[in-house]
Amino acid sequence: MLYSSGFSARAQVAFRRRTFGFKAAAVWLCAVLLCAGCASTHYVKVRSAPHSPLVERLKVTSRGGPQPSARTMQLLRRYDLVGELRGKMRPLLDKVQAIVDQEPSPEKVYAFAELSYIAGKKTELTEPGTALDHYGASVTYAYKYLFEERYGRQRNPYDPEFRGACDLYNGALESGLRLVKSQGGLMPGCSHSIESASHAWDVKIVIRNGRWQAADFAELKFASDYEVQGLKNQYQSYGLGVPLIAIRERRNPDDPAEKFLPPLLSFPVTAFLRVLPDDQIHANSSRRRHVALLELYDPLVSHDIEIGPRRVPLETDLSTPLAYFLNDPQLNPSNPAINLNAIATEGLLRPDKAQAEAGLYMLQPYEPGKIPVLMVHGLWSSPMTWMEMFNDLRGDPAIRERYQFWFYLYPSGEPFWQSATKMREDLASARAVLDPERREPAFDQMVLVGHSMGGLVSKMQVVASRNDFWNIVSDKPFQMVKASPELHERLEHTFFFGPDPAVRRLITIATPHRGSTFANGTTRWLAREFIKLPQMGREQIVRENPDLFRQHTMLEVKTSLDSLAPDSPILPVLLHAQRPPWLKCHNIVGVLPDKGFIGKVAGGSDGVVAFSSAHLDDALSELKVEADHMDVHRHPLSILEVRRILLEHLADLESFPRRSPAQDRTAQAMAR
């Protein structure tokens, strides 16, 4: 007996509590070392003031308020208008407007745009309607400076004033949009008629590109309000427009494609105000009426736009909307009260409950023509672990123009072959929803990237089972199994399968191909104590088939740590399993440098997986990276290697060859 009769009841309770606390602490420590990735990260913080290049140039936040630039002050001195700055801005603007009308030039148009912006800043708190008029005038005149043909010969793109006009356009547009948003009108499909003493505006908000629709937009926020913290690199481009964060509205739950997009998703948008050339004077008024379109662009689809005969780059920000999404604690698809960190823990300790969240996820709608890259996380982890690599890869124009990134979430507490079986089914389901007629050739060029145990889950998508996996558990024909139809089918899907013909490349990172000695007797015992697996019918199958199964087989493996042990019976079979001729495999291995206490203890491993286990002799390429198990897939060299492989994949595909019927027959034959 564990407790002798000499213990009092109170002492026994206290002993049990201490024992439980020890077990809990031990399993927590083990899982952290096994690449938990569960630490809470703040990905963005709100700035004290929106970021803008105009703040410093025009001293927007100074005690005396915004001031004209040296170039504008010079123009005011030439026309003896400096004294007008001490009064209200409207009389000064009227005088500068008259000068522009009488003798137009780029420098005068620029000065009027700048002075209008300053006037807007001075009045936005007390007279928002007047401020909106000033911001509209600033945008319009900055647009004239940049695009009107009559200034073409005088414009100098090497003059700092040219970039200043771009900043004025962006800054005035953002300030105006903030005022529009405060009135609840900053949404696609809205139209606005803005009237003021001197101007009238007809503005319509339209979506110009991409697969997002008006119904997807629940709210728009300004990227300049946030500072990225949780991502090492921030991907922006410079041009015209206002980078926004669009918060997605969940749409029709009956749409089968809806399940691939997480709730509360945010995505990048750039707003551009196009001033149409048909400005006109009202018949009964001296007010100028401007007609404009506020165009919303998806920067993942377009990085520049046409304005007349020119291609003009958009100002974009891809990383801040991603960080904003990751920063939101409510990221659980079925229960918004649970965040992704909790999902990772639940996936390890309560795989039965985590099944509801498992599946394929995207951060953009499916894009025909782009090759899917599916990223698969490891033990006690979630898709969050890929965000550093995803951010860097998506920030590369050559990659994002040809690839789309997907993520697979699975309960990592269960044996990896069970997760692999479910992933196989989920991929087939995704193809049926997204490309039911199999007309999309890019879908047949898929790349899988798996970290740690996720590499094993991914590898099981690209090998042929034949009878090899069934022979681990029995030397009798599978047809002899007695089980309910549902359980019989589940067993068949687990043990008999062929390679997915849509997958062309596999990248494994820090994967224990031969197991990990960290999954030893102690950690495996702790895992069995704490990991609560769903009932899979093992006992029933063994009971109803007493002479069919071998002893100590896959059926007795109860947790993911059991499945990763070096003596796990499936690992040598998977290591040598037959692969299809079209598949190309790449490998990345983490090795800690042999210095310091940790390096010496690690002894030729990444701290969890030994090099001898992670190494592959038959990989097309293999890269060693000085990194530990938790960080190897986030290491810059690993990300660069994945980028290299993806570019190599494109180079091998001069066009997207269709998957041939013979290829399908080969995959089916390999499953037999």
CB 279 within 8 A of CB 198: no
Exposure on the CB side of residue 169, measured as CA atoms within 13 A: 28
For residues 377, 383, 388, 390, the Cα torsion angle rounded to the nearest 10 degrees is 100
Look at residues 376, 460, 450 and name the one whose alpha carbon lies nearest to residue 421: 460
CA distance 294 to 142: 16
pLDDT confidence of residue 567: 84
Q: Distances in Å between the alpha carbon of 44 and those of 218, 248, 611? A: 20, 18, 36
Q: Which of 51-65, 154-168, 270-284, 502-516 has the lowest mean pLDDT?
A: 270-284
232 pLDDT more than 60: yes
Residues 618 and 583: beta-carbon distance below 8 Å: no
Better-predicted residue by pLDDT, 347 or 169:
169
Report CA Rg, the chain. Answer: 31
Of 339, 260, 243, the residue nearest 296 (C-alpha): 243
Asked whether the predicted pLDDT for residue 322 surpasses 60, the reply is yes
Task: Give the model's pLDDT for residue 516.
Answer: 80
Side chain identity, residue 90:
R
Q: Which residue has the tokens 């410079």?
A: 238
* Secondary structure tally for the chain: helices H, strands E: 24, 20
Between CA 115 and CA 125, with CA 120 as vertex, the angle to 5 degrees is: 150
How confident is the model over 82-125, as pLDDT tens digits?
999 988 999 999 999 999 999 999 999 999 999 999 999 999 99
Quickly list H helices, 63-158: 70-78, 89-102, 106-123, 128-147
- What does residue 261 show for φ and ψ, rounded to 5 degrees? -105, 125
Q: Tell me the C-alpha distance between 462 and 452, whole Å.
A: 17
| Helix (H) or strand (E) segment spanning residue 296 | strand 288-297
Q: Is residue 334 over pLDDT 60?
A: no
At residue 39 the predicted structure's pLDDT band, cuts being 50, 70 and 90, is very low
Q: What value, to the nearest 5°, has the Cα angle with vertex 47 and ends 43 and 52?
A: 115
State residue 6's pLDDT score.
39
- Residue range 329-670 forms a domain whose CATH class is alpha beta
Helix ranges (DSSP H) in 8-105: 9-33, 54-57, 70-78, 89-102
Distance CA(270)–CA(155), nearest Å, equals: 25
Average pLDDT, the chain: 83
- Residue labelled with tokens 């704490």: 530
CB 187 within 8 A of CB 181: no
- Full-model pTM: 0.86
pLDDT tens digits, one per residue of 147-176: 999 998 898 999 999 999 999 999 999 999
Cα separation of 401 and 369, whole Å? 10
pLDDT above 80: residue 625: yes
Position 671 confidence tier, pLDDT thresholds 50, 70, 90: low
* Residue 564: per-residue pLDDT: 84
Structural domain spans, the chain: 54-321, 329-670
